[in-house]
Amino acid sequence: MSSEAVREALKSEYVQHLLDAKSRQLCRRRDFRHSERSDLEHDLVVHILLQEDHFDPSRGSVMTFIARVCDSAIAMMIRSQDRIKRGGGRIVISLETPSVYQDGNREMTLGQVVTEAELRRRCGGNAWEEQEERSSEIRNAMTSLSPGLKEIARRLMREKETEVAKGLGISRRQVRKAKEALCKHFRHAGI
């Protein structure tokens, strides 16, 4: 009975959105590539199905169970990527670490030497593709905002909190509350 509830919930829009958002968040980490996104979603579904027998309706809702199982699976994926024996001895170097690259007599960081295109190529994509995807995600999230929050969001992109408050004739506290609401909205949208 409980495993049927989990399987039914996997078809819901909430779970599909959750899996999509979690896989996008994982792909933003240095350990995972954008091209692995569908594989990560699949791995999350497999992990949920492996744990479906542990669902107990008396302890909570099926959606909460799925969210917790996803969080657990993601933590294990990240731990697995961080292990040296699983990572094949991969060495991660910060782009801010001073390196041996020289420009005349000046020491430079790797971040100053490596171009944006080279960084994107490592992940199997290009900078424009990811930037367009991000812009469309933000546009979609903005469409569902109320007119007041939209205006505050647009102004916050260009102005400081105090300037927004003066321009709209509201208090800074109201702007901060709106900013918190915007953060929550965008976080819920997976941004």
- Kindly report, residue by residue over 26-42, the tens digit of the pLDDT: 888 877 888 888 899 99
pLDDT number for residue 123 = 60
pLDDT number for residue 160 = 87
CB neighbours (10 Å) of residue 40? 21
The contacts found for 72-81 with CB under 8 angstroms, 24 or more apart, are: 72/47, 73/43, 73/44, 73/47, 73/48, 74/22, 74/26, 74/44, 77/26, 77/40, 77/43, 78/26, 78/29, 78/31, 81/31, 81/32
Domains within the chain, CATH numbers bracketed: 2-85 (1.10.1740), 93-125 (no CATH), 127-188 (1.10.10)
pLDDT number for residue 90 = 61
For residues 19 and 138, the model is more confident at 19
- Kindly report, residue by residue over 85-142, the tens digit of the pLDDT: 555 666 667 767 766 555 556 677 777 777 766 666 666 555 455 566 667 777 878 8
**Tokens 């027998």 sit at which residue?**
53
- In the predicted structure, residue 186 carries a pLDDT above the cut 90: no
pLDDT number for residue 137 = 79
- In the predicted structure, residue 7 carries a pLDDT above the cut 90: no
- Locate 19 and state its tokens: 């899996």
